[in-house]
C-alpha cells in the first residue's frame, strides 16, 4: 500500500466519522439523538425528531462524505479498486465513528454518495428502485435489495466496454454489500429482543434492520419527547 493511498484511506475514514446527525441534532434541537426515537445516528431519526430542514443538512453532508473520497481518488488517477477502497473507508467511518466510541449510523446515505461518485447512472437507477419502497415504509428492505442488485447492474450501467473496470467495480460493490450486512448483524441486542430467537433476530436485522417485528415499537423505543432527550 502506497503512502498516498494510506493517507487517503485515513482521511476518508475520518471524514466519514463526522457524526453529522448527532452534531446537527445537538446544534439545532439541543438533543442527543442517541436518546431519542430509535436511537439511530442517522437522518431518519433526525426527521422523526421533527427537524425536516435539519435533515436536509444531514442528507447533503452524509452524501458528500461518501462521494468526496472517491472523487479525490479519481482526481489523482488512482485505479478503480482504490476508488472503491476510499469509499468503503468513508462508509466504515460513518458506521463505526471514532468520535462516538465506534458506534455510528447505518451508512445508507454515505453508501449512496459512494455509488453516485463511482457511477452516477448506477447510483441514480438504484436510488429510484429504493424510492419504490417508500409507500410501504420499507427503506431497510429496499436498501438491502438495492445493494444486492448493485453488483449485477454494474455490468450494464458502468463501463461495459472496459472489462477490468467493470470487474473492479462489481467486486467493490459486493464488498459494500458485506459492510451493510456486517453493520446490521453486529449491533448489540436490544432489550426489546430478549425473547426473540437468534434465527428471528438475524432475519429481522438482515431484512428490516431492527430486532423485533413491531416497527412502531422499535422506532419509538427511546424517549419520544425531544425535551427528554437532552444529552
Prediction pTM value: 0.85
Query: For 56, what's the count of Cα atoms within 13 Å in the CB-facing half-sphere?
Result: 2
pLDDT at 163: 57
pLDDT along the chain (231 residues), means of 10: 90 94 79 73 71 80 94 93 94 93 85 90 80 76 88 72 70 91 87 88 90 81 48 42
CA angle 98, 14, 101 (to 5 degrees): 5
pLDDT at 37: 66
Nearest partner of 92 among 8, 187, 15, judged by Cα: 15
pLDDT at 231: 42
By the 8 A CB rule, do 226 and 48 touch? no
pLDDT at 143: 86
pLDDT at 158: 58
Amino acid at each position: 500500500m502506497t503512502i498516498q493511498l494510506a493517507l487517503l484511506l485515513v482521511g476518508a475514514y475520518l471524514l466519514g466519522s463526522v457524526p453529522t446527525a448527532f452534531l446537527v441534532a445537538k446544534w439545532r434541537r439541543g438533543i442527543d439523538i442517541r436518546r431519542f426515537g430509535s436511537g439511530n445516528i442517522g437522518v431518519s431519526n433526525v426527521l422523526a425528531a421533527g427537524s425536516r430542514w435539519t435533515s436536509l443538512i444531514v442528507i447533503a453532508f452524509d452524501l458528500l462524505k461518501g462521494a468526496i473520497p472517491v472523487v479525490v481518488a479519481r482526481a489523482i488517477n488512482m485505479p478503480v479498486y482504490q476508488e472503491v477502497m476510499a469509499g468503503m473507508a468513508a462508509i466504515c467511518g460513518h458506521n463505526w465513528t471514532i468520535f462516538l466510541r465506534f458506534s455510528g449510523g447505518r451508512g445508507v446515505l454515505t453508501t449512496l454518495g459512494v455509488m453516485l461518485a463511482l457511477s452516477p447512472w448506477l447510483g441514480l437507477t438504484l436510488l429510484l428502485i429504493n424510492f419504490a419502497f417508500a409507500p410501504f415504509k420499507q427503506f431497510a428492505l429496499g436498501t438491502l435489495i438495492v445493494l444486492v442488485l448493485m453488483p449485477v447492474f454494474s455490468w450494464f450501467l458502468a463501463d461495459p466496454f472496459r472489462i477490468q473496470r467493470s470487474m473492479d467495480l462489481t467486486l467493490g460493490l459486493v464488498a459494500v454489500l458485506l459492510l451493510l450486512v456486517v453493520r446490521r448483524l453486529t449491533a448489540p441486542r436490544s432489550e426489546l429482543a430478549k425473547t426473540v430467537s437468534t434465527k428471528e433476530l438475524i432475519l429481522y436485522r438482515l431484512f428490516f434492520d431492527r430486532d423485533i417485528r413491531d416497527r412502531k415499537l422499535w422506532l419509538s423505543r427511546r424517549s419520544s419527547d425531544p425535551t427528554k432527550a437532552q444529552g
